[in-house]
Every structure is written in structure tokens, then in C-alpha cells.
Structure 1
Amino acid sequence: MKTKLRNNLRELLLTFLVIWLPLAYALWIYPSLPENIRINFVSLISPTFEYAPKFLFIWGLPIFMTLIQLIVYGATAYREITKPAFARFVLWIVPLNHIAVYLSILFYALDSHFNINKIAAIFSGVMFLISGNYMPKKMVVEEKPAPRWLAYLFILVGLTAVLVGLFLL
């Protein structure tokens, strides 16, 4: 039990490192970033909150994602996940999403021709594909697996998103 807890804490610290690692790049390019960084790329959501001050974006997003990662870690520690590979996948969703989003927004801030929608579509598609693969399996003790049709739907949506990202965006 102690070894498992130590390994889980080690992995949690590693995910924190991955969340904070892009900050080094952000601080390196800080002088060349605009004063306000665009953070809303879907104008239907909230057209009044499209930009954030660069200081708030650079420091705020890693802090927010670290807090989200703590919640995810707590949830996975609370519920016993039967498949170690799925538990690892759940623990790494937040850091990998953070890297994709954070770096994409920074690249867009440096060059407005950077296609952030392509990255979002491909990355979201891959997450749907992986999730669809795990859905029909029993992952949590005392819970039934998701229906197989839902897993197929996730795989179909994921494959569509990856193909749209690769060829249409």
C-alpha cells in the first residue's frame, strides 16, 4: 500500500512538472507577446471575454490546471480504478490538454496565422478515440461498463475529429 501511494504521489508530482514546464517557454517569449492574449476562439460562448492580460494568462492557467489536476487525483484516489492503464490515462488527461492548449494559445499570440482549430480538433479526436476504447470495459469497482454503442460513438466522433483536423482545417 505504501509503495502504491508513493508511486501515485510521484506520478502526481510528475504531472505537476508537465503542467508547469510550458511556463519556461512562456517566460522566454514573454517580451514578444502582446499585452492581451486571445483566450476565446469560439465567439458564441462569451464574446465579451475574448482576451486576458498576458500576466494573468501566463500564470493563471498553470495555477488553474494544477488545481484541476489535484481534483482529478483526488477522484481517482477515492474511486478504485481496476485497470492501471486507464488510471494512468485519467491522470494524464489534464497535463496533456494543458500542454496542447497553453502552447497553441502562445503560438497563436505570436502568429495569428497559427491554426489553433486544427490542433484542437486533432487532440480532441485522439482523446475521444482513447476514451471510446476504454468505455466498454469495467473500470471502476461496483459500476457497470458503458454500453458498447456509446464506445462506438466515441470512436466515430474521435475519428471524424482527427480526419477533419488533418484534412479540412
Structure 2
Amino acid sequence: MTKNKWVLMAITSAVILATMLYGASQYSALPATLVTHWGVDNQPNEWMPKALVVYGLPLLMLAAHWLAVGTTYWASSRGKSAPRFERITVWIIPVVTVVIYVATIRYALGQAVNIRLWAIAVVGAIFIVMGNYLPTVPVSTAHQGWVGVGYHVPWQVKNPAGALKAMRVLGYVMVAGGVLMLVSLFFPPVVSVVALVLLIAAMIVVMPLSYRWTTRTDK
């Protein structure tokens, strides 16, 4: 990785770990166990020990952050770089961590927190932002199976134009799905579940289409 990437990695990692300061400052006021999962109806259904949430959750998110960013940077080193898309990827887990962590602590303190609102809003926003920038990711055929940055297919790319089309379609699907999830907040919780299922299904459908587009050799 370049020096700038190491610096950004250090900053984002610090953001994740900094959430512990908020949890530690409220530690004595927190109950012995904290809610860590809610149903679509905003009702809690899973709990964890206080110390594990306050200190363990940020460490878990940090590990996930390193894995996700490391994979993205590794994919970038194998092909053409996409700086803007990479910067978005680097900030996703830190932002999610701050929102989830603060909401969890505030809920445990007895404050009114609409978990569904925050969860759907963050997920929807991520899909919209990533989908918006995904079509700008350059296509690379230098290594078998890699298309752009972090978008992996198990077949050889023979048609760069088709690969770019696949990325563009996937981007449109992600943006449309993100908007649909945000709109679902104005309806009963089950609508948010349906919106997420439709988004995942649409993204899965793009994969076989991308196979046809990327492996076709135009004459």
C-alpha cells in the first residue's frame, strides 16, 4: 500500500477504536447486559455482556475493517486503481461502527432510539453511494477473473465493454435498492425486509448476466 493509504487506514481504524471512549465514559451507568440485536419490529431479541459490547464490538469491527480494506487494496494492486471508490470502501465500516455503537449505548441507557430507522438509513445510504461510484471503477483484464476493484467473478474477462456494462447495471441496481430501502421507512417494518430481499435478489441476478457480457467475444 502507498503511504496515503496507510494514513487513511490508520485514521479510519482510530475512528473505530475511538467509540470505546464513549462506551467507557458511560460504563458505570450501563446495565450488566446490553441489547445487541433487534427484530424488524424494533423489539430486542439478543443480549451480550456489557464489557463484551463496550470493548469487544469495536475490536470486532476493526478486524472486519482490516479484512475488507485489505481485500480492496489487494484487488486494486492486481489491476487498475479506483481511488474514489476505494476511499468510500475504507469509510464504510467506521461509519457503520459509530452509528451502531452509539445507538446501542444510548438504547442501553434508556434513551429513545429508533433502531430500524438508523439501520435502514445507513444500509440504504451505503448502497446508494457505492452504486453511484461503482460504474466509475476501471475494468481490468490483466488478471483472470478480476473486474475493476473488489468485484470478483470466477471466469476470464474477454470483453471489457461487457464487464463495464455489468458494473454499470450493478451500480444502478444498488442505487435503486438503496432508495427503495429508504422509502420503506415510511411503511410497516415488513416492507423494509421485502426491500432488502429484492435488492439482494436483483444483485444475484446480475451475476449470470455479467458472465454473458464479460465472456462474450465481439467479432
Shorter-chain TM-score above 0.5: yes
Deviations 1:129-159 (A, max 9, x none): 1121123333463313435443222212211
Aligned to 2:118: 119
Q: Larger deviation: 144-153 or 5-14?
A: 144-153
In the alignment, structure 2 segments of 5+ residues that lack a partner are: 142-146, 148-162, 189-219
Alignment correspondent of 1:109: 108
Secondary structure of the residue that 1:39 maps to in structure 2? strand
Give the aligned partner of residue 19 of structure 2.
22
1:1-169 pair list within 5 angstroms: 5-42=2-39, 50-80=46-76, 82-111=81-110, 113-139=112-138, 141-142=140-141, 143=147, 144-145=163-164, 146-165=166-185, 167-168=186-187
Distance in 2 separating the partners of 1:123 and 1:141: 30
Letter in 1 for 2:24: L
CA distance in 2, matches of 1:22, 1:138: 32
Contact 2:85 2:134 in 1 (8 A): no
Query: Contact 2:82/2:138 (CA < 8 Å) preserved in 1?
Result: yes
CA distance in 1, matches of 2:95, 2:7: 17
CA distance in 2, matches of 1:104, 1:94: 15
Conserved in 1, the CA contact under 8 Å of 2:85 and 2:137? no
Distance change (3 Å), C-alpha of 1:110 and 1:139: farther
The amino acid that maps onto 1:155 is: V
SS at match of 1:34: coil
One-letter amino acid matched to 1:91: V
Q: What amino acid is the match of 1:66?
A: L
Once the two structures are superposed, residues 66-93 of structure 1 have per-residue CA deviations (whole angstroms, 9 ceiling, x without a partner) of: 1111112321221115221101011111
TM value normalised by structure 1: 0.84
Tell me the percent identity: 28
Q: Quick one: structure 1 residues 117 and 139, their matched pair in 2 at CA, closer, same or farther if it must change by over 3 Å?
A: farther
Kept after mapping to 2: 8 A contact 1:123/1:162:
no
Given residue 58 of structure 2, which amino acid in structure 1 is its aligned partner?
Answer: P
Q: Deviations over 1:14-72 (max 9, x none)?
A: 011100111111111111111100111138xxx9x710000011111111111111112
Are the counterparts in 1 of residues 84 and 133 from structure 2 also a CA contact under 8 Å? Answer: no
**How many pairs align?**
161
Q: Deviations over 1:103-139 (max 9, x none)?
A: 1111111126311111111111100111211233334
**TM-score w.r.t. length of structure 2:** 0.66
Gaps of 5+ in 1: none
